[in-house]
Amino acid sequence: MKQLVAFDLDNTLAASKQALEPFMAEALADLLGVADVAVISGGDWPQFQKQVASKLPERADLAKLWLMPTTGTKLYTYRDGEWSPVYAELFDDELKARILKAFDESLEATGFVPEQTWGDRVEDRGSQITFSALGQQAPLDAKEHWDPDFAKRKVIQADLQQRLPGLSINMGGATSIDVTREGVDKAYGLRKLSEVSGIPLDAFLFMGDAIFPGGNDYPAKTMGLDTVRVRDPKETASVIEGIVAVMK
């Protein structure tokens, strides 16, 4: 029997950078009634607060919710009426500068010039540097139509892998590429979660939309976890409904 269900965030629990819809907030509250729940994604804590933590109904058992920003290099739990960090693994300034320089060089080398951008395209998240092709504030419709098959980002990803040996470079969300320390991916974060929570990995189930080679959810599969690949939040909610029914 599974004790913890872990999820990707964007395009799994919610549309890219959008808040949980009411149907998903209620589904997660139902799931928290029968299991621990973790959310692991590339966004930083303010994004998690906006998309997830602030949208759950009062009945949700937040003590069983584990929120893991920046691909699990940060962990937040709810204790004594507030969300608090358990740990945060941050880049040093020298490594940040090297990553930012590589992004500039890679975008020039690959000839990537979007027709329009909305806000900054590269964001320093402390323990992760994230490239958002159309900018951090791009509208959802533009993001969903830009690279649905990940083909455009695979070109940039391949170039970055040559420029940043020893770092993990994965695609996530609708337009993003995430750079973390070597070996830091969702498998790394989920292993740390197992250590902190005391829940064995064979009692985990992971759900995400990018469980394929090069996708930032794929490491959960390669580490041996049971996984479910979903198309969108509506399919995720259907799977949650089935899990709750079985576990009750």
| Of 69-78, 139-148, 158-167, the least confident | 139-148
Q: Which uninterrupted H or E stretch holds 42?
A: none
What is the model's pLDDT at position 239? 98
Share of the chain above pLDDT 70, in %: 100
Residue type for position 29: A
What is the model's pLDDT at position 111? 86
Give the three-state DSSP class for 59.
coil
Global pTM?
0.80
**What's the sign of the alpha-carbon dihedral 236, 12, 30, 66?**
positive
Residue type for position 54: S
Average pLDDT over residues 66-74: 95
What is the model's pLDDT at position 23? 98
CB atoms within 10 A of CB 11: 24
CB atoms within 10 A of CB 233: 22
- Mean residue pLDDT of the chain comes to 93
Helix ranges restricted to H, the chain: 22-32, 45-51, 69-72, 93-110, 140-146, 151-163, 186-197, 218-222, 233-247
Query: Which backbone phi and psi does 227 adopt, to 5 degrees?
Result: -130, 155
Owner of token pair 């909610």: 237
Owner of token pair 């999820």: 7
Nearest one of 119, 186, 106 to 152, comparing CA atoms = 106
pLDDT at 115 over 80: no
pLDDT grade, residue 21 (50/70/90)? very high
CB-CB contact of 38 with 4 (8 Å): yes
What is the model's pLDDT at position 78? 98
Average pLDDT over residues 53-78: 97
Q: How many helices (H) and strands (E) does the chain have?
A: 9, 11
Nearest one of 233, 246, 207 to 37, comparing CA atoms = 207
What is the model's pLDDT at position 97? 94
Residue type for position 83: W
CA distance 241 to 164: 42
pLDDT grade, residue 215 (50/70/90)? confident
Q: Which of 51-55, 179-183, 210-214 has the highest mean pLDDT?
A: 51-55
CB-CB contact of 68 with 125 (8 Å): no
DSSP string covering 59-98, please?
A: TS-GGGEEEEHHHHTEEEEEETTEEEEEEE----HHHHHH
What is the model's pLDDT at position 171? 86
Walk me through the domains of the chain, giving residue ranges and CATH numbers. Answer: 4-89+184-247 (3.40.50.1000), 93-181 (3.30.1240.20)
Taking every pair of C-alpha atoms in the chain, what is the biggest distance, in angstroms?
A: 54
Comparison of pLDDT for 67 and 152, the residue scoring more: 67
What is the model's pLDDT at position 214? 81
